Amino acid sequence: MEKNLTYIALFAALIAVLGLVPKIDLASGVPITAQSLGIMLCGTVLGAKRGALAVLLFLALTLAGLPLLSGGRGGLGVLASPTVGYIIGFPIAAFVTGLIVQSWRAPILPVAIVAAFVGGLVVLNLIGIVGMAFMLGKTLPEATLLAAPYMIGDTIKAVLAGLVTQAIGQMRPDALLSRG
């Protein structure tokens, strides 16, 4: 009971930290923020329910006025901005990611990579793009064009999430609540 609570709270803090850590530069110099990596890790490590709860906790504090979103954004304004779809998509992405890890009992590395890809890239971008199309009055293909450049980084993040999840499984097997 206590462990569930502290894991959810600490992973909510981890999402914030990954968004605040100055951008992680990848090989080609594509500057990406690691925030959606935090979302993926919530799903792969904590599982569907706890992962989604950690993201909801993070969002509640962000909307309440803490500048925890990447770039120091926060407050109620994010709900009215074009990126609102990504905000709504965050907990759903963590849930889907966790659900895949929980129910697909194959070796953790490929499962976690696929789960992070499906949840953190496919599901998150689907909702994010619909939101952007609505807020900016664009068609879905036009909004997809705006989101496309970020998907390269998201693919790399899904692989990183898988590697980190595998390492946690080896170093702290008890902590992998999604497989517990």
Partner 1 sequence: MLTLTSPIETYAHRLPAGLKLVLLCGFTVLLFALKSPLALLCAALPLIVGIAAAGRSFATSSVRMLRPLLPFVVIVALWHLITKDPFGLPILIRMITAVAAANFVTMTTRLSDMIAVIERLARPLAPILPPKALALAMALTVRFTPTLLARAAEIAEAWRARSPKRPGWRILLPTTLAALDDADRVAEAIRARGGSA
Name the site residues for partner 1 (rule: CB under 8 A).
Answer: 1-3, 5-14, 16-18, 20-21, 24-26, 34, 37, 41, 45, 57-58, 60-61, 63-68, 71, 73-82, 135-138, 146, 160, 163-164, 167-168, 171-172, 175
| CB closer to partner 1 out of 54 and 93 | 54
At residue 65, the 3 state secondary structure works out as coil
Residue 87 CB, nearest approach to partner 1 (Å)? 12
| CB closer to partner 1 out of 123 and 143 | 143
Residue 58 CB, nearest approach to partner 1 (Å)? 7
Neighbours of 99 (CB within 10 A): 20
DSSP type of residue 176: -
CA distances from 137 to 12, 89, 124 (A): 32, 19, 20
Residue 107 CB, nearest approach to partner 1 (Å)? 18
Q: How far apart are CA 131 and CA 87, in angstroms?
A: 10
Structural contact between residues 119 and 97, judged by C-beta atoms closer than 8 angstroms: yes
Q: How far apart are CA 106 and CA 15, in angstroms?
A: 26
| CB closer to partner 1 out of 78 and 126 | 78
| CB closer to partner 1 out of 78 and 92 | 78
Residue 28 CB, nearest approach to partner 1 (Å)? 12
| CB closer to partner 1 out of 136 and 140 | 136
Q: How far apart are CA 84 and CA 19, in angstroms?
A: 17
Residue 62 CB, nearest approach to partner 1 (Å)? 10
Structural contact between residues 36 and 116, judged by C-beta atoms closer than 8 angstroms: no
